[in-house]
Structure 1
């Protein structure tokens, strides 16, 4: 089945691309989710017009993403988690936690745009990539601290 993508789809293509997909994937996911339209002759003519507006829209989104990236460069997020023996973390910091913390600071970022390979399960400082646009990626500084007030007072 050939479809024309209306939105960017990870590992498939970008907006306006004509791609060949499995029938079930197209019928059950792409078409109902309004991520694509069927590639007919009439739709291909319409998509040529849409490509021009898509290029302009993508340029606006890119400049907005670049501005947001410069604002986000200064952000530092600090998470406190319970720590056991040998600095073993109980729980972890996930992309959902990072998205929630960014939202509290006024930045609405979808957790799927936070490129965290796996949850952060150790103490320390991390630079987590955030993909704001397909050509714009910024990094957010995330610090994971231990929440162990008893050990701090006994060490003093």
Structure 2
């Protein structure tokens, strides 16, 4: 089955890529989750619009990404969350919360889809996340989760 990806899928591709997958994977997983749409001959316009939107959100080049890494990796970024008396959080720290804190620190928009959280953050204290700013550039950012 030939599909056009609308969102990034680990191990498969990024938005706008045309991929060939098994029928069941496409029909039962990718399409119902709005991660991909069926490929058609007229789908090239859709691919172009997806890639144009991605390019407008993406960091322009590797040197700009390196400058942004320097801003983000300097000091720990404070993320304020609601917490109980014992230091337990009400839920977990979301990538949206992290993106908002990183945007305030960097002074530039950081897309939440570029943030990789390996383990859910459910406690106060120091944590680390990875931010993929460019194809070749990634930043390891120290977070300090504090109660609000």
Alignment of 1:69-148 (within 5 A): 69-80=69-80, 81-85=82-86, 88-91=87-90, 92-105=92-105, 106-146=107-147
Distance 1:103-1:146 versus aligned 2 partners, 3 A rule? closer
Residues 9-30 of structure 1, C-alpha deviations (whole Å, 9 max, x = no match): 323235886531347557x754
Which segments of 5 or more consecutive residues in structure 1 lack a partner in the other structure? 44-57, 148-156
Return 5+ residue gaps in structure 2 as ranges. Answer: 45-57
CA RMSD of aligned residues (A): 3.7
Number of aligned residues = 125
Q: Give a deviation string over 1:80-108, Cα, whole Å, max 9, x none.
A: 443323xx413232211111112233231
Structure 1 partner of 2:51 = none
Which stretch of structure 1 is more off in the superposition, 128-137 or 74-83? 74-83
| Consecutive aligned runs of 4 or more in structure 1 exceeding 3 Å deviation | 1-5, 14-18, 21-26, 28-32, 37-40
**TM-score (normalised: structure 1):** 0.57
Q: Any idea what SS the aligned residue of 1:90 has?
A: strand
**How has the CA–CA distance of structure 1 residues 17 and 139 changed in structure 2, closer, same or farther, with 3 Å as cutoff?**
same
Q: Which has the larger radius of gyration?
A: 1
8 Å contact from structure 1 (residues 2, 39) kept in 2: no
**Secondary structure of the residue that 1:143 maps to in structure 2?**
strand
Indicate the residue corresponding to 1:64 in structure 2: 64
Q: Following the alignment from structure 2 to structure 1, what is the Cα–Cα distance between the partners of residues 119 and 71?
A: 25
Cα distance, 1:84–1:14 mapped onto 2, change above 3 Å: closer
* Structure 2 CA distance for aligned equivalents of residues 94 and 109 of structure 1: 14
By how many angstroms is 1:114 displaced? 1.0
Structure 1 residues 15 and 66, CA gap change in structure 2 (3 angstroms): farther
Q: Which has the higher strand share?
A: 2
The change in CA–CA distance for 1:30 and 1:83 in structure 2 (over 3 A counts) is closer
**5 Å matches for 1:40-51?**
none
Distance 2:36 2:113 in 1: 18
Give distance in 2, aligned partners of 1:16 and 1:146: 40
